[in-house]
């Protein structure tokens, strides 16, 4: 990772594509440990659960 303010010191990113019949509301994005800072727009519920 390049140096970004409030970023992670190191990160392994994985991108998966798949076809599903599920709606976007049924898909849950999982970010481990401090990785929630990478996509706060996707993990509002997860952040609230950890508080």
Q: Is the pTM of this model over 0.75?
A: no
pLDDT at residue number 46: 56
CA distances from 28 to 7, 31, 39, 49, 51 (A): 22, 10, 13, 14, 18
pLDDT tens-digit readout, 1-51: 677 787 777 778 888 898 999 998 888 777 777 777 777 777 676 556 565
Q: What total number of domains does the chain contain?
A: 1
User: Which structure tokens are listed for 36?
Assistant: 């929630």
Report the alpha-carbon angle 2-37-8, nearest 5: 35
4 vs 25: CA distance, rounded Å:
30
| Structural domain containing residue 14 | 1-51
pLDDT at residue number 37: 76
């Amino acid at each position: 990772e390049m140096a970004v303010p409030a970023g992670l010191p190191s990160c392994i990113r994985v991108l998966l594509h798949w076809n599903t019949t599920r709606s976007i509301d049924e898909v849950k994005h999982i970010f481990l440990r401090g990785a929630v800072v990478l996509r706060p727009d996707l993990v509002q519920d997860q952040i609230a659960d950890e508080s």
